[in-house]
Amino acid sequence: MTTLQIHNLAVTLGGRNVLHDVDLTLDPGEQLGLIGPNGAGKTTLLRAVLGLLPTTEGSITIGTRTPAQARGHLGYVPQRHEFVWDYPVDVRTAVTTGRTHLTGWLRRPSSTDRDAVQEALERVDLQALHRRPIGELSGGQRQRVLVARALAVRPELLLLDEPFTGLDVPTQEALTQLFRQLTEEGTAILMTTHDLPAAAGTCDRLVLLNRTVVADGPPDQLRDPSVWLDAFGVTSSDQLLHSLGVAK
C-alpha cells in the first residue's frame, strides 16, 4: 500500500497560489528528497500533509486516512529555529511531547509512551543526556532531540524540513545513516533540503518543486540541465549545475 498519495493538490495562502496541480506518491521504505528554490512551497507541502494548512483543491491520503486521521502516526522534524529552546524542560520531556497527539495533553505517560521515548533517545544516541535542559544543548544535539521527538510516535511517515542545515559533518553522517536504517525498516521519508549533492546521493527519488512538480524520478534519471534550471526558475546557473555534476 502506498504510504502517501497527493493528487491535484492546491494550497492558497493570503490570496496567493502557493501550490497547484501537485501530484506525488511515496511508498513504504522510500526516501524522497523535495528540492526547489526558496518560496517554492516545500514547507507548505509538508504542513499540508500534516493537516496544518487547508487545501484549496485536491486530496492527501496517508495509507487510507486523511492527514487529520493519521496525525498521531506522522513524525515531523521542523527547522530548528521553529522550536522554543529556552523552554525549561529536559531532553526526555521534550521528546515525550512528540507523543501528545497519541496521549493527550493531560494524561500521564504510560509504559508504552515511556518505552517509545526511550527507544527514540537510543536511536539518536541521546540517552546519556536525557536529563540535560534543552537550552544547554549544541546545535547538533538539538537536531537529534527533534528527530527523537518525531520518532517517539514510531511513525510510518517521517517528514523532515531541512534536517541538515547548520550541522557538522559527523552529525550529518549519523543522521543520514539513521534515516537509511528507518527506510530499511519500512518507514517512508519525505525530506526538504537545500543540500542538492547530498540529496542526490542519499535519496531514492527527487521531486523538483516550484509551486508544482517540475520533475520526479531517481537522481540518475534527472540529468537534463533544463529540468533543474526550470525548477529553480533561472535561465543559466553554472554553479547549480556544477554542484550536481550535471553538464550543460
Place of cell 521515548: 117
Q: Taking the mean position of all CA atoms in its chain, how far away is CA 180?
A: 14
| Residues 154-199: tens digit of each pLDDT | 999 999 999 998 899 999 999 999 999 999 999 999 999 888 888 8
Report domain extents, the chain: 4-244
End-to-end CA distance of the chain: 39
pLDDT above 80 (res 224): no
Least confident of 111-115, 123-127, 215-219, 221-225: 221-225
Q: What is the pLDDT of residue 244?
A: 62
Which residue did the predictor score with more confidence, 248 or 93? Answer: 93
Q: CB-based contacts of 167: which residues, under 8 Å, 6+ apart? A: 139, 140, 143, 175
| Residues 126-141: tens digit of each pLDDT | 999 999 999 999 999 9
DSSP state for residue 106 in the 8-state scheme: S
Q: Report yes or no on whether pTM surpasses 0.85.
A: yes
Percent of the chain with pLDDT over 70: 92
Q: Looking at this protein, which amino acid is placed at residue 75?
A: G
Q: What is the pLDDT of residue 47?
A: 95
Sign of CA dihedral 82, 155, 186, 54: negative
Mean local confidence (pLDDT), 82-91: 91
Work out the mean pLDDT of the chain and round it to a whole number. Answer: 90
| Residues 6-41: tens digit of each pLDDT | 999 999 998 899 999 999 999 999 999 999 988 899
Do residues 85 and 142 touch, judged by C-beta distance below 8 A? yes
Q: What is the pLDDT of residue 100?
A: 83
Task: Give domain 4-244's CATH superfamily.
Answer: P-loop containing nucleotide triphosphate hydrolases (3.40.50.300)
Burial of 145 (0-12, 13-18, 19+ CB in 10 A): buried
Burial of 9 (0-12, 13-18, 19+ CB in 10 A): buried
Q: How many CB atoms lie within 10 A of CB 128?
A: 9
Q: What is the pLDDT of residue 207?
A: 95
